[in-house]
Amino acid sequence: MAAPTMENPTSTSTPSQTLTIAKALNTAMRSAMERDPKVLVMGEDVGKLGGVFRVTDGLQKDFGEQRVLDTPLAESGIIGTAIGLAIRGFRPVCEIQFDGFIFPGFDQIVSQLAKMHFRSQGKVKVPVVIRVPFGGGIGAVEHHSESPESLFAHVGGLKVVSCSNPADAYWMLQQAIECDDPVLFFEPKRRYWEKAELDPTIEPAPLFTSKVQRTGSAVTLATYGPMVRTCLDAAKAAEEEGRDLEIVDLRSLSPLDLDPVFDSVRRTGRLVVVSESPPESSVTSEVATRVQQECFYSLEAPVLRVNGFDTPYPPSKLEDGFLPDLDRVLEAVDRSLAY
């Protein structure tokens, strides 16, 4: 019997089940480790504790300390070690415990990980996945609620993706692990415990593609990660008022797959781009610019954005005012339709 691969997803088929995003990610790593003994998991407290969000729970028990490594509290060391392991033929999956902890490893990511393949004229591959729980909404202290994805989307040589639901978490993480390029995998931590059905027999979409999560005709909402749920809730509320919103989950932030967004805007004539990140020089500003370039004569209103703010992330008591919510999304929809 042939070994199961991502090209043959039904070879490990199991009945549909209801999973949280956290469990889907755990199941994805388990599947990848069963398929390929070169897949390793490493990070702070990922072994015996199973990670602070328990995403790696049980992996060290089942695969051993040689494949699930509890590392020192040193992000630069974690990523530097992963680069060396990847050059030697392994596929490390690193966990950055919280989004704001990634910055001590920034130099390793942008100066080494992103450059190695290009620097070696294609001779060296560095298939490293860096998992990053990101975004706010959990009432945490400083450095625990950042949205740094735009910083890495600017860097040539890196792939940047974000899941928003259990099915995408399950498939996208496995696809990222099998990718020969370094992938930053941003996980919406406040959505970890949201449940949905996962059918592992359904063919997954390619990793670096966007996906229409809800069809509509009035306004297009383009978003990703934790804001997908917010936009879906906004669309449900808008439907009660007779406004039919289309939701495009970007999923891949670098490279961007904007053809579904262009197609949607050419039908609706309106676009609102939604993200928790600060708005300046962000993924949302890139999407807005590209849509105005490609769909100018289809637009009935300016492209609008709903973001966090260009400030440090606030204390937990103030985060509800910082984060985009249903009301801010609907207010932008109203402004767009007013033109």
Contact 126, 72 (CB under 8 A): no
Average pLDDT of every residue of the chain: 95
CB atoms closer than 10 angstroms to residue 48 = 10
Same domain for 234 and 178, yes or no, is no
pLDDT at 11: 41
Query: In this structure, are 264 and 160 located in the same domain?
Result: no
pLDDT at residue 202, rounded to an integer: 87
Q: Are 181 and 288 contained in the same domain?
A: no
79 and 133 assigned to the same domain: yes
Q: Check residue 104 and report its DSSP letter.
A: G
Domain assignment present for 235: yes
| Domain-embedded: residue 96 | yes
Residues 184 and 224 in one domain: no
Query: Are residues 72 and 100 located together in one domain of the fold?
Result: yes
Q: Which pLDDT does position 145 carry in this prediction?
A: 96
CATH number at residue 235: 3.40.50.920
Q: What mean pLDDT do residues 254-281 have?
A: 97
147 with 99: CB under 8 angstroms?
yes
Q: Is 152's pLDDT higher than 70? A: yes
Say what the pLDDT of residue 192 is. Answer: 98
Task: Output the pLDDT for position 190.
Answer: 96
- 7 belongs to a structural domain: no
> Is it the case that residue 6 has pLDDT exceeding 60?
no
Taking only the tens place, the pLDDT of each residue in 17-41 is: 999 999 999 999 999 999 999 999 9
For the chain, what percent of residues have pLDDT higher than 70?
96
Q: Is residue 6 in some structural domain?
A: no
Whether residue 135 sits in one domain with residue 28? yes
Report the range of poorest mean pLDDT among 5-14, 203-212, 260-269, 292-301: 5-14
Quote the pLDDT of residue 166: 97
The pLDDT of residue 2 is 37
> Does residue 10 register a pLDDT over 60?
no
Check residue 4 and give its pLDDT. 43
**pLDDT tens by residue, 287-306:** 999 999 999 999 999 999 99
Which residues belong to the active site? 144
- Of the residues 146, 170, 198, the one at which a domain ends: 198
3-class SS of residue 212 = strand
304 within domain boundaries = yes
Strand ranges across the sheet with 252-254: 68-70, 39-43, 91-95, 129-134, 183-188, 159-162, 252-254
Give me the pLDDT at residue 134, please: 98
Residue 103 to residues 20, 160, 201, 247, 258, Cα–Cα distance (Å):
28, 16, 38, 32, 29
In tens, the pLDDT along 179-206 reads: 999 999 999 999 999 999 998 888 899 9
Crossing angle of helices 166-178 and 21-35, in 10° steps, is 30
Domain assignment present for 2: no
Q: What is the mean pLDDT of residues 44-59?
A: 97
Name the nearest CA neighbour of 152 among 129, 130, 184, 128: 184
5: pLDDT confidence band, cut at 50, 70 and 90?
Answer: low
At 200 the pLDDT is: 83
**Structural domain range at position 311:** 211-338
In this predicted structure, the answer to whether residue 331 has a pLDDT above a threshold of 60 is: yes
> How high is the pLDDT of residue 142?
87
- Would you say residue 8 has pLDDT above 90? no
Number of domains in the chain: 2
Q: Which amino acid is at 199?
A: D
Per-residue confidence (pLDDT) for residue 86, from 0 to 100 = 98
Residues 30 and 154 reside in one and the same domain: yes
216 plus 67 within the same structural domain:
no
Residue 206 lies in a domain: no
Whether residue 255 is preceded by a cis peptide bond, meaning omega within 30 degrees of 0, is yes
Q: Could you say which of 198, 222, 257 is where a domain stops?
A: 198
Q: Which residues lie across from 187 on neighbouring strands?
A: 133
CATH code of the domain covering residue 68: 3.40.50.970
Verify that 120 and 151 share a domain, yes or no: yes
